[in-house]
């Protein structure tokens, strides 16, 4: 953590959280991934597990955006699932379910829905 403290101060506090893009103004309770250069704010460290943080960083690196980027947009998880189901029935090619799942999770993260919230809502949607 000492080397990270020097790094944050040397950049004049201009770092942004790799998850929510909030400015990181101090170096208390921040997290730096061992797998990339992303730094995560204390707020996100409190909200998400390290496992979820690492996973979200990979998704945002691959597909762009950040957590809750589209939060203000009108978004219905249930409507999104219904539209997705309609689209899938129209397509004739074989689906890659892993890719589909990652794209879907990317979409919900952009709208500020956590993976745990998604799982709960999905369970009630499927009942």
Q: Are 37 and 16 in contact (CB under 8 A)?
A: no
- As measured in angstroms, the least distance from the Cβ of 45 to Zn ion is 8
Distance CA 42, CA 66 (A): 16
109 touches Zn ion by CB under 5 A? no
Nearer to Zn ion, 17 or 109 (CB): 17
Q: Which of 8, 15, 17, 56 binds Zn ion (CB under 5 A)?
A: 17
19 touches Zn ion by CB under 5 A? yes
Q: Which of residues 32-51 bind Zn ion (CB under 5 A)?
A: 41, 44
27 touches Zn ion by CB under 5 A? no
30 touches Zn ion by CB under 5 A? no
Phi and psi at residue 94, to the nearest 5°: -70, 135
The footprint of Zn ion on this chain (CB under 5 A) covers a number of residues equal to 6
48 sits in the region (left: phi over 0; alpha: psi -120 to 50; else beta) called beta
Nearer to Zn ion, 27 or 41 (CB): 41
Q: Which of 60, 58, 53, 64 minimizes the C-alpha distance to 115?
A: 53
Residue 83 structure tokens:
């539209």
Q: Are 17 and 40 in contact (CB under 8 A)?
A: yes
113 touches Zn ion by CB under 5 A? no
> Which residues form the interface with Zn ion (CB under 5 A)?
17, 19-20, 22, 41, 44
């Amino acid at each position: 953590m000492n080397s990270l403290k020097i790094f944050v101060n040397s950049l004049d506090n201009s770092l942004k959280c790799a998850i929510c893009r909030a400015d990181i103004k101090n170096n208390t309770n921040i997290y730096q991934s061992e797998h990339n250069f992303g730094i995560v704010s204390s707020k996100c460290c409190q909200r998400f597990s390290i496992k979820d943080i690492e996973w979200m960083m990979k998704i945002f690196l691959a597909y762009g955006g950040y957590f809750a980027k589209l939060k203000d947009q009108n978004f219905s998880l249930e409507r999104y699932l219904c539209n997705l189901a309609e689209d899938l029935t129209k397509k004739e090619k074989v689906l890659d379910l892993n890719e589909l799942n990652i794209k879907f999770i990317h979409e919900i993260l952009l709208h500020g829905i956590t993976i745990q919230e998604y799982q709960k809502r999905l369970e009630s949607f499927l009942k």
